[in-house]
Structure formats: C-alpha cells, structure tokens
Structure 1
Amino acid sequence: MERSYELTRAAKDGDVTTVARLLGAGVVVDALGEDARTALDLAAQENHADVVRVLLGAGADTAAHAGPYHDLTPLTCAAMYGSTDAVAVLLDAGVSMAAQDRIPYTPLVVAAGDNHAETVALLLDRGADIEDRAMKGRTALEWAACLGRVEAVLLLLDRGAEATDTALRCAERHAGRGEEERGRYGRIGAALRAALGHDAA
C-alpha cells in the first residue's frame, strides 16, 4: 500500500526517475494513492508530460475516473487545469476527445470553461469538434460565454465557432452583476453581437 502511495506522490511531483523505478519494481500502474487518485490522473493534472508518457507506456488506464471529484478522465482533468503538454501526450497516445461513458465532459469544454486558451487551441488543432454539444446540450463557446471566459470566447470565435443567441443571452444576463462582470461579459457580448451581425447597441 505504501509503495502505491509513493508512486502517486512521485507522479504528482514530476519525479520520472522514481516513477520508472517503482513501476520496474512491480508497483501496479493504476494503484490508488492517498486521495484515491491514480498516478496518471495526478501527473496529467500537474502537466508532467514525461511522467504521463512513462505511465502510458506501462499501460495506465486512460479511461479511469480522475480529478479531485473523480468525475473526469485523465485527459479532461489535464484540460481543466490547462496542462497542455500532458494533453498533447495523451492525444499522441490515441486517447479520444469524445465524452466517455458516465463522464459527459469533453476536454474542449472544460478547457474553454476554465479559460485555458492554449489548451483550447491545441485541442482544436488536433481535431476537436468545436460545435460538440455532449455536455448538457451546450457548445464550448456557450459554456465559455456563460462563465465569462473572455480569451476562450475570442479564440473560439476566431477559430470558427458558431455564435449563438444562447451564448449572447447568457453573457448579457451576467453583465449586470457587478463592475468586474460588466467588463468581462461586456467584451464577450460585444464579440458575440459582432459575430451574429447585431448592432453594437
């Protein structure tokens, strides 16, 4: 048990040498650590691409539940934290960007929802469906607009995401909640109105 904890700690810390040594000594690659998370889950979150690569080579489960609340996969966890290098390694290994069974989140939606523009760009470059509605019937743009993620909204629009009245209504609804919100959601609303061909007023 203690050695499995050592593996997950080393993975979280980015200690690729210790990870490789423990795997070579027979520690199970998908063993759970102290917080019931796997080494791959933690390495993906912390953007330790070299550790992710070693764990994948040892057969780590890329579809296992991951994240602080165990409601993600290693890929969606990496995307949520903006761990772009880890996302790239997982994609290189053939991990699907589609929603998984019982886990409806997609990496594009969570990256956009947390305003990680670099990760969003990578996912789009790798073929993510910009109009996918797997998560509660909303696109990544609509989620980003509702959450006030300016950089993600602008990037998605620039990359061809369809501006929708749903996204605009959500941004306008939040714009009146305070000065900070007015600034963020005002920029989003202006960008969406321009994309929709509405008057700026």
Structure 2
Amino acid sequence: MDVADQLVRSADDGDVNGVSRWLGQGAVVDAPDGDGRTALDRAAQKGHADVVRRLVEAGADLEQQAGEYRESTPLCLAASRGHTAVVGVLLDAGSRTGAQGRLGYVPLVLAATTGDEGHPETVALLLDRGVDINAVMKHRTALDWAVRFGQEEMVHRLLGRGAVPSAETLATAREHLGCHPERRRKTERIALALLSVDIAPATGREPGTEAGNLA
C-alpha cells in the first residue's frame, strides 16, 4: 500500500494523527487511492471534521470531484449526510454554496431533502451563513423538493426561514397527492402551510382554487 492509500485510509478512519503523519512523509494531499477517492472526499463523506480541517490546512482542493462516481463535491457529500461540523469547516475555508459538481448539486437542497426529513441542523447552518434559500437545483428549490418528497417538517422549517413558494410549488403538492393518495392528510397539511404565506409569482388564480384542488 503506497503513501496515498495510507493517507486516504487514515482520513476514512478519522485518524487525524495518521493523516498528519502521512502528509509529513510526503503524501500529496489530493492524491487518490486505488479506488480514485481522495482523503478529503472520504473524510467529508464520513463526517470527520478534524480530519477535514487538517486536510484543508494542507491545501486540499475544496471543489475537487468527490463521491463514488466523482459526481459530487466534499461540501455536497457532507451536506447530504448531515455532517454539520464538516459543512462548517468547509464553509469557513471558503467552499462555494451554489450549484456544483458534475451534476450541479446544491448543498442546501441536499441537506434539506436527504433522508426522511432532511438534516435540520445542517440546513440551519447553511442558512445562517447566508445561503440563498431559493437556490434552484434541477429547476426546483429546496422547498419544492421537500414538498415533492412529502417532508412536512422540512417544509415548515423552510417556510419559517423565508422560503418563497410559487404556483409550481403548489402544483408539486398536487402531483405528490396524485402519486401518494395514502398520504392525503399529510399533503393537505403541507398545502395549507404553503397557502399561509405569499405565493410568488402571482398566478392569476385565487389561493382558494389551489386549496380546493388539494382538499
């Protein structure tokens, strides 16, 4: 096993002393292991904040390709798994928060919608750091995706932080109801939450029309 593999293994294990040791022995900070994964990639995925901090200090590329298929970035990996401390380290180091990676992932959207109800603490951190709550990934905002996935708690959290629903957001709720009639009451509650705030842009319809379609 060469020094690059040893560095990545230490990062994957959360062994910050091992990471420092291999870096001190000449390991290139972003050198991939035999699987094509780097130390920062593995540490961000596993949630090892101290290791991530050490790698960033050593000059690791914040926007490097990451993930099993090189489709992501370290920040997106951490956000999608709710590794809030890692997200904080990466933000402190200057990681971008807009669409990134080969597939145009948006960290906030991933944090809000991965898992049953997303990762509230990670979402809160991103928003506290000034991330655009209405940023779009694949033509949908975090709120749109949360509605699409029927994530009632996250919908309320995002609305409470200033997310702006649109006519398309309400249409997504209707679509979710059609696909999941067994979740009717939950979807109706989501629709009522959406209708409790201003809808933008104006649709030319009365809000009651949308509500009626979901009732």
Superposed CA RMSD in Å reads 2.1
Question: Are the structure 2 counterparts of residues 154 and 93 from structure 1 closer, same or farther at C-alpha, using a change threshold of 3 Å?
Answer: same
**Number of positions where the alignment pairs a residue of Structure 1 with one of Structure 2:** 200
Closer/same/farther in 2, CA of residues 183 and 117 from structure 1, 3 Å limit: farther
Offset at 1:64?
Answer: 0.7
Q: Does 1:38 align with 2:41?
A: no
What residue in structure 1 maps to residue 148 of structure 2? 146
Larger Rg: 2
Are 2:112 and 1:120 aligned? no
Aligned 8 A contact 1:112 1:149 in 2: no
* Partner of residue 130, structure 1: 133
Unaligned 5+ runs, structure 2: 200-206
Deviations 1:86-108 (A, max 9, x none): 00000011111122374421211
Aligned to 2:171: 169
1:105-116 correspondence runs (5 A): 105-114=105-114, 115-116=118-119
Residue aligning to 1:155: 157
Contact 1:141/1:161 (<8 A) preserved: yes
Look up the equivalent residue of 1:118 and give its one-letter code. Answer: E
Q: Aligned with 1:195: secondary structure?
A: coil
8 Å CA contact 2:73, 2:101 repeated in 1: no
Task: Please report the TM-score for the alignment, with normalisation by the length of structure 2.
Answer: 0.84
Contact kept, 8 Å, 2:72 with 2:100, in 1: the verdict is no
Correspondence for 1:185 among 172, 187, 192: 187
8 A contact 1:172–1:186 mirrored in 2:
no
Q: Structure 1 length normalisation: TM-score? A: 0.89
Paired letter, 1:81: R
What is the alpha-carbon distance in structure 2 between the residues aligned to residue 149 and residue 13 of structure 1?
A: 33
In structure 2, the residue corresponding to 1:90 is in which secondary structure? helix
Change beyond 3 A, Cα 1:12–1:181:
farther
Distance 1:184 1:52, change over 3 A: farther
Give the distance between the partners of 1:48 and 1:183, measured in 2 at CA. 40
Q: Which runs of 4+ in 1 moved over 3 A?
A: 100-103, 176-187, 196-201
Gaps of 5+ in 1: none
Give SS of 2:195's match.
helix
